[in-house]
Amino acid sequence: MTTAPVTATKAGLLSCETCGLLSQPASTDESGYCPRCGGELEARRHRSIERTWALVIAAAICYIPANMLPVLGTTTLVSTEYDTIMGGVVFLFSSGSWPLALIVLIASVMVPLGKLVALSYLLITVRRGSVQRGTERTQLYRVVEFVGRWSMLDVFVDTFTVALVQLDPLMSVHPGAGVLFFAAVVVLTMIAASTFDPRLIWDASAEPAPSKENSPQQESNLG
Amino acid sequence: MPEGKQLGGELTPVACHQCDLLQVLPDLPTGGKASCPRCGYTLATRPVDSIERSLALTIAALLVLVVANATPLMGLSAVGRHASTTIIGGAYQMWLEGQELTAAIVAFCAIIAPAGFLLCLLLVLLAVRRPPAPRWVGGMLRWAEYTRPWAMTEVMMLGIMVALIKIADLAKVDAGIGMFAVGVLMLLFPAILSSVDTEELWARVAWHEPGPKSGPATRRLPASNPMVGLEKTDAEKADPEGRPESTNSQTPSSRSRS
């Protein structure tokens, strides 16, 4: 690309996040509403960086009890055993179904952790105004958006195990406190992915001299 | 006449949703797809027979959703006892065990979000068959967009299978009709998503604010980032700041924020 790429913001236009209509705001102070769908217009998602950070930190905190606390408790006539998420993976592996063990390991342990790392990386590079590898970072964002839902797998597994194995007093399965934290990690990271505005990745490369109204949210949180 | 058709011969200016790059959409052939040249985001697709096909798939998915929720997912037999569970039964059992919030999340992702998405989409598709569709259709379409990421049919399907295999070690389990229904639903969802042309749907919805007569959106935009094969418009040369002529652009309403 030889010339500086023209973005909608640079051209003084706003693109509706709901319906995609490109429109020109009546005034620079107030963006107003999309004439087609009535959605509120914003140059960038409102307070994107702070909100995403808050959600990522909250999810990271929940990630610890999600992995430490048991997600399932199995009560038999003689004893009660508690299983954490890793315990479930080990159980699947030792019972011979290693492909499933791998799926659960990826979906429940690696994907949430990877999402937290990826979102933090995106937030840090945006804050630093990095202009490099924009395409790769946008692709990383799309991966985060796409894989997020798959972490809910373990919550579904636990739900249906609990619902089915209720053979009191012979054997019954109960959910542990870890399930809620785990579900919270998934929900929080999904919301974090949707509050992060991938357009911020490209704003630094809209140089030279990005005007003030380019990203007021971004400016305000630097103070 | 649908506005989507009017746009046919024109170049639609858009900003990429993920990198804000300003560009003009080419007149897409049926079955075509336009991607952002900078970040690769899919800007628009033009599926074959979008509305009729989406409508058929949505109605089918709603019927299957009813079956999936009304029939048992799987059963368990051990020491002469038999137990089975449904989707809502799973969430209810979690609630009974003191995990109310988890139960709510499961119910939302497994039932409420898929049902909400399908119902909103059904209403939208029925309404846009005779454009311009009334304004409330826009709200429905927005709700469909909101619920879409939370409809986790395929994740639930995998969850059911993992649970089935885990329990199979302890007792005899069998798959119920509900599980097959969830499997069908899992296939119908991506089919619906790839047959829906959101841009066309929005084009058929009545405008929220009565817009200026000049027609949809800005016609002449600085096309310094044209899609492949498009000629640059001269608007850019005429205006070094890259601002489109205001007479041609839509002016959004500036009513005060609530």
Q: Is B197 on the interface with A (CB under 8 A)?
A: no
CB proximity A75 to B under 8 Å: no
- Interatomic CA distance for residues B113 and B251, integer angstroms: 34
Cα–Cα distance measured from residue A101 to residue A107, given in angstroms and rounded to the nearest whole number: 10
Token pair, residue A82, equals 């508690």
The pairing of beta strand B42-45 with beta strand B33-35: antiparallel
Give A33 or B211, the one with higher predicted confidence: A33
User: Given this model, what pLDDT does residue A209 score?
Assistant: 45
Among B150, B159, B244, beta carbon nearest to A156: B159
Rounded to an integer, what distance in angstroms lies between the CA atom of residue A145 and that of residue A24? 29
Side-chain half-sphere exposure of B139, counting CA atoms within 13 A: 4
B230: pLDDT confidence band, cut at 50, 70 and 90? very low
B248 touching A, CB under 8 A? no
* SS3 state of residue B23: strand
Among candidate residues B216, B20, B236, the one with its CA nearest the CA of residue A17: B20
Pinpoint the residues of chain A covered by CATH 1.20.140.
Answer: 47-220
Average per-residue pLDDT in chain A? 83
Q: Which amino acid is at B229?
A: G
CATH of domain A47-220: 1.20.140
Continuous segment of H or E residues that includes residue B178: helix B177-195
- Enter the DSSP assignment of B134: P
Of B224 and A184, the one with more pLDDT: A184
Q: Is the CB of residue B37 less than 8 Å away from at least one CB of chain A?
A: no
pLDDT averaged over every residue in chain B: 77
* pLDDT the model gives residue A61: 95
Query: Does B8 touch chain A if contact means CB atoms closer than 8 Å?
Result: no
The CA–CA distances, whole Å, from B28 to B7, B48, B112, B217 equal 11, 11, 35, 18
Query: Where do the DSSP E strands lie in B16-103?
Result: 22-25, 33-35, 42-45, 74-78, 81-85
Residue B73 structure tokens: 């997912």
Residue B231 confidence (pLDDT) = 30
**pLDDT digits over A169-212, tens only?**
778 888 999 999 999 999 999 999 999 988 888 887 766 544 44
Q: How far does B5 lie from chain A, in Å, by closest CA?
A: 16
Give the three-state DSSP class for B187: helix
Note the residue count of chain A: 223
Contact map slice: B 65-124 vs A, CB within 8 A? 73-74, 76, 78-79, 81, 83-85, 89-94, 97-99, 101-103, 105-106, 109-110
Per residue in B236-256, pLDDT tens? 333 333 333 333 333 444 333
Query: What global pTM score does this model have?
Result: 0.81
Top-ranked range on mean pLDDT: pick from A204-218, B190-204, B213-227, B236-250: B190-204
Give the helix/strand (H/E) hosting B115. helix B113-127
